[in-house]
Structure 1
Amino acid sequence: MEGMTRAQLDETERKDLAKATVLRPRDAATLILLDRNVDRIKVLMGRRHSKHVFMAGRFVFPGGRTDPTDGRIPVAAPLHPAEFKKLQVGRMTESRVRAVAMSAVRETYEEAGLLIGHKGAFNAPNPSWQGFAENGVQPALDALRYVGRAITPTGRVRRFDTRFFAVWREAVAMAAPDGPPTDELEEQVWLPIEDAKQLEIPPITRTILTDLEERLAIDPELRPGALPVPFYYMRNNRFKRELV
């Protein structure tokens, strides 16, 4: 994506174009689940429902918009301090950082039916977290690793300031017996990263997967705060990549 012109991006993501309008990007988060109990590390991908307005039919990571109330949900274990420090930049308050990270956990349950956390009694103060209480899982953030950030350019159907987190599959306390409570994803597959990149996926998803491959090659354990995080945004009509 780095160095692409707006015209090239428009052609690549033509399904996502909207009337030119400036929308403020909203906080969002996505979770990249990785399975290392195989010969090759596999990643979980899900196909978005064909009726969705945004990226219909494409394979994506579980994730979505952040609800500010997510930051007030109690956790069994917080973000690692090194990960928290990387996230708390600019106007990112402590509560906002927690909300963004927790939204990745919540969306993973809602879309994939997987509960990230520790087994134990949990009182859900918010209906959106009732599934954790019903299944006896305390949400936790200690296993999350911040691996990327991207801001959707102007002129799109939706604009998000998305933080990408990675987590090993063993952080999943359990899969909900009845599956996910929503039909956001029509299909879920575990694939080697190189195979996932061949799916019908958004350009930013392919870019983040490539970044993740490169990081795993030099940091196979995804150590907390070990490496800079790539940040993608558009400036002067071209995509930029910074390491933060």
Structure 2
Amino acid sequence: MASAAGSPVSPPPDGREPARIRDAASIVLVRRSGRAPQILMGQRGAGAVFMPEKFVFPGGAVDAEDAELASGAALEPETARRLAIDAAPGLGPALACAAIRELWEETGLRLGAADAAMAARGAPAGWQGFLAAGLRPRTEALRFFFRAVTPPGRPRRFDARFFLAEATALVGSDEDFSGACGELLHLQWLDIAAARRLSLPFVTELVLAEIEQRLAGGEAGERPVPYFHQSAEGPQCRML
């Protein structure tokens, strides 16, 4: 399920049950093999409840099976530290696993590392095909760089963490989308300028600006992480 926070809207009418905020993760793959860095995006279907027909990054809500697999998952130290801010204890590794699982489900691409022991262990339902290939999720390759909470009034709300990862960390071809589940259509690699010409959610425009600055500045983990959310005073942004 692709996820991202949306643009500000009015609160739900009185008497309507507000949507529960779910922890979620999205992943931005970066490919540097051409003249300009490219990122992977896909389009949500016209019938999607959340952001229909918008171009987004692979991602979705954290599942219980992600938390089950996350035990012992390694994270880059600065990513681990920033993920722990204003979050439930131990949530960081589960978010990283969710990002990798959603990437695999929605694109067929596997961000993994060889680990023969994985094929022999009992796998959570959503991870069976991934682990059966003798792979573990390569969580240490992720860099946390953006966070946003969907504003009130949306049919679904997410506390979405966005991760950067290099396409060189993938197993197999970065053009093989044959295993994609079909939730994201028109999967394609785009440079930042081309991505901005697509139909994008508001938050994705913010994410693209942050990606552009990080790619221009080098190491993704050196910059503070923007965190967009709502408070009683209105929309807020703080740095993690």
Q: Pick the TM interval, shorter chain.
A: 0.7 to 0.9
Asked if 1:211 corresponds to 2:207, the answer is: no
1:85 and 2:84 equivalent? no
Match of 1:156 among 139, 154, 157: 154
- Work out whether 1:119 is the aligned partner of 2:111: no
Per the alignment, residue 26 of structure 1 pairs with 22
C-alpha offsets along residues 91-131 of structure 1, whole Å, 9 cap, x if unaligned? 4212x211111100000000011110113322352120112
CA distance in 2, matches of 1:202, 1:74: 30
**Distance change in 2, residues 1:75/1:142 (3 Å):** farther
TM-score by length of 1: 0.85
- 33, 37, 41: which is aligned to 1:41? 37
Go from structure 1 to structure 2 and tell me whether the alpha carbon gap of 1:136 and 1:156 turns closer, same or farther (over 3 Å shift): same
Pick closer, same or farther for the CA change 1:32–1:75 going to 2, 3 Å: farther
Cα distance change on mapping 1:238 and 1:197 into 2, 3 Å: farther
Question: In the aligned structure 1, how far is the partner of 2:40 from the partner of 2:78?
Answer: 25
Shift of 1:18: 6.6
Counterpart contact for 2:68–2:124, Cα < 8 Å:
no
State how many pairs are aligned.
229
Please give the secondary structure, in 2, of the residue aligned with 1:173.
coil
Say whether the 8 Å CA contact 2:144–2:225 is kept in structure 1. yes
Per-residue CA deviations over 1:6-27 (Å, capped at 9, x if unaligned) read 9x8449xxxxx97554223100
Q: Distance in 1 between matches of 2:72 and 2:195?
A: 32
Rate the CA distance shift 1:18–1:195 in 2: closer, same or farther, 3 A: farther
2:175 is equivalent to residue 180 of structure 1: no
State the AA in 2 paired with 1:153.
P
User: Post-superposition shift, 1:47?
Assistant: 0.8
Deviations 1:39-78 (A, max 9, x none): 1010000011222111111110000010133122168961
Asked if the contact 1:49–1:183 (Cα under 8 Å) also holds between the matched residues in 2, the reply is no
Scaled by the length of structure 2, what TM-score is found?
0.86
Q: How far is 1:207 from its partner?
A: 0.6
Q: Tell whether the 8 Å contact from 1:116 to 1:174 is kept in structure 2 after alignment.
A: no
How far apart, in 1, do the equivalents of 2:204 and 2:179 lie? 22
Distance 1:83 1:9 in 2: 27
Residues 125-134 or 39-48, more deviating = 125-134
SS, match of residue 110 in structure 2: strand
- TM-superposed CA distance for 1:179, in Å, is 2.2
Moved more, 106-115 or 206-215: 206-215
Unpaired runs of 5+ in structure 2? Answer: 1-5
* CA–CA separation in structure 2 for the residues paired with 1:191 and 1:214: 16
Q: Which residue of 1 aligns with 2:3?
A: none
Q: Distance in 2 between matches of 1:113 and 1:171?
A: 14
Q: Residues 187 and 75 from structure 1, CA distance in 2 versus in 1: closer, same or farther, beyond 3 angstroms?
A: farther
Check the 8 A contact 1:21/1:155 in 2, yes or no. no
Residue 70 in structure 1 maps to residue 69 in structure 2: no
How far did 1:136 drift? 3.0
Show structure 1 runs of 5+ residues with no match. 1-5, 12-16
Aligned-pair RMSD on alpha carbons? 2.5
Worse overlay, 79-88 or 169-178: 169-178
Which has the larger displacement, 117-126 or 191-200? 117-126
Partner of 1:3: none
- In the TM superposition, what whole-angstrom CA distance separates every residue of 1:159-214 from its partner, at most 9, and x where no partner exists? 00000001010111135977235211121010001210221010101111101111
